[in-house]
Amino acid sequence: MENKLLEAAINYSHKDFRIFPLHSVDDQGRCSCGKQDCDSPGKHPRNYNGLKGATTDETQIIKWWRKVPDSNIGIRTGRGLFVLDVDGDEGEDSLYELQEKHEKLPDTWECLTGRGRHIYLSCPTDKYIKSSTSQVGFDLDVRCEGGYVITPPSRHYFGNTYEWEVSSHPDDIPLAEAPGWLIRLACTRKKSNRRWGSSFKTILHIGERNEALFKEACHLRDLGLDRDKVEHFIYLRNRCDCIPPLKDGEVETLLRSAYSYPRRNPRKKGLSEGSERVFRYILEKSLHKGHCRLSKNEISLAVGLKQRQVFNCIRQLERSGLLQVQEHKGLEHLYFPQTHAIPWQSLHIGVEGSTDPESSVQETPLRVVK
Ligand SMILES: [Zn+2]
């Protein structure tokens, strides 16, 4: 048998894992589904009923890969298979903290992915452990019931392949049991409040200034805003809202630290690329003022989207808590990016009775907290 993918798929099925075919990527990173803007190249099901069709039946598996030999391999998780998806440096940090607090994860199978690793563990079958995102820890995802993983030697869209970590290969070591603390964390449903917009704090006191400003800088960085604009905002926020403000050198350090991490893909957090562009444009137009007054037509021209799309993006931003929209003089709208809600409030701009917020903005000096 010369097809490595088929061979591996059959091997996994012999270990009683449920297999199904995924789309593949070519050398240019294009997905075999043919969609120009496919948002998960080589990662989504190729069979008609996806995950539900996953099977251990060798005949079916052979049929799939005979038909399309380059399909990536999906393994349905759950029913005893628990995979911890450690995403990038942030995921590694979260895992490190958890292991310090509880205990180290046992040696088990481990797969290297494009930006992190998948740790395979077995779990009790009498518990319903749902797949989750950033629930057990930030950028630590659980693939269990209702989920699947892409396995070696599937091809990644960066042109690399998923590979087993040399010392953690399924042929060499047994699949270890997930520790109790991890299962408990995975089963504890908590309302995730990861969105910065919704947890934005007006005034920052000693003990929370550094972390909050760091997170805000990372968030803005992830939105793709120019670094000097991010710095401008963070310095402004420090001067206006931190009691007492951090020293400039401290702000400089946290900014440098924020930029020492790679930019995370904000689409993962649910913002479409269009919304991201719209938000960035509104944010840039709001610097120094905390808000802006733009027509949909202007936004549409600037970001290269149709007006109807701009409308949808603004709705999405509003829902995600990143943008507040206020009607102004009938048809006009004022946009308040959440990042600026605070300087705007602490500058006493736009309080009731103010007829033209835009002009009062320039006249009001910054309230510098000593
Ligand atoms: Zn695709």
The three-state (H, E, C) secondary structure of 289-339, written as one string? CCCEECCHHHHHHHHCCCHHHHHHHHHHHHHCCCEEEEEECCCEEEEEEHH
- Is residue 288 pLDDT above 60, yes or no? yes
SS (H, E, C) 190-225: CCCCCCHHHHCCCCEECCCHHHHHHHHHHHHHHCCC
d(CA 150, ligand 1 centre) in Å:
14
d(CA 34, ligand 1 centre) in Å:
6
| pLDDT at residue 244, rounded to an integer | 87
- pLDDT tens digits, 128-181: 899 988 788 888 899 999 999 999 999 987 668 899 998 899 989 999 999 999
pLDDT band at 344 (very low <50, low <70, confident <90, very high): very low
- Sheet with 292-293: strands ordered across: 292-293, 332-337, 323-328
d(CA 48, ligand 1 centre) in Å:
14
Q: Look up residue 126 and give its two tokens.
A: 């009498």
| pLDDT at residue 339, rounded to an integer | 52
Distances in Å between the Cα of 329 and the Cα atoms of 67, 283, 314, 324, 332 are 62, 21, 19, 16, 6
65-79, 233-247, 344-358: least confidently modelled range: 344-358
Mean model confidence pLDDT for the chain: 81
d(CA 39, ligand 1 centre) in Å:
7
5-19, 61-75, 106-120, 125-139: least confidently modelled range: 125-139
d(CA 40, ligand 1 centre) in Å:
6
Q: Look up residue 369 and give its two tokens.
A: 């907290």
> In degrees rounded to 5, what are phi and psi of residue 36?
-60, -40
**pTM for the full predicted model:** 0.55
pLDDT band at 269 (very low <50, low <70, confident <90, very high): low
**Does domain 197-363 match CATH 3.10.105.10?**
no
Q: Within 10 A of 90 (CB to CB), how many other CB atoms are there?
A: 19
- Cα–Cα–Cα angle for 44, 48, 51, rounded to 5 degrees: 55
Identify the DSSP state of 32: T
| pLDDT at residue 210, rounded to an integer | 85
Q: Look up residue 2 and give its two tokens.
A: 């010369």
What's the CA gap between 102 and 3, in Å, rounded? Answer: 42
| pLDDT at residue 202, rounded to an integer | 67
| pLDDT at residue 175, rounded to an integer | 95
State CA 209 to chain mean position distance. Answer: 24
- Please indicate whether residue 121 or residue 353 has the higher confidence score (pLDDT): 121
Q: Tell me which residue of 361, 334, 359, 357 sits closest to 347, measured CA to CA.
A: 361
| pLDDT at residue 179, rounded to an integer | 96
DSSP 139-161: TEEEE-BT-EEEETTPBPTTS-B
Distances in Å between the Cα of 355 and the Cα atoms of 142, 329, 335, 360 are 51, 10, 16, 9
d(CA 259, ligand 1 centre) in Å:
31
d(CA 24, ligand 1 centre) in Å:
8
| pLDDT at residue 74, rounded to an integer | 97
List the beta bridge partners of residue 279: none
- Is residue 86 pLDDT above 70, yes or no? yes
| pLDDT at residue 345, rounded to an integer | 32
What's the CA gap between 178 and 191, in Å, rounded? Answer: 23
Give the pLDDT mean for 48-52.
Answer: 91
For the chain, the domains span 4-187, 197-363
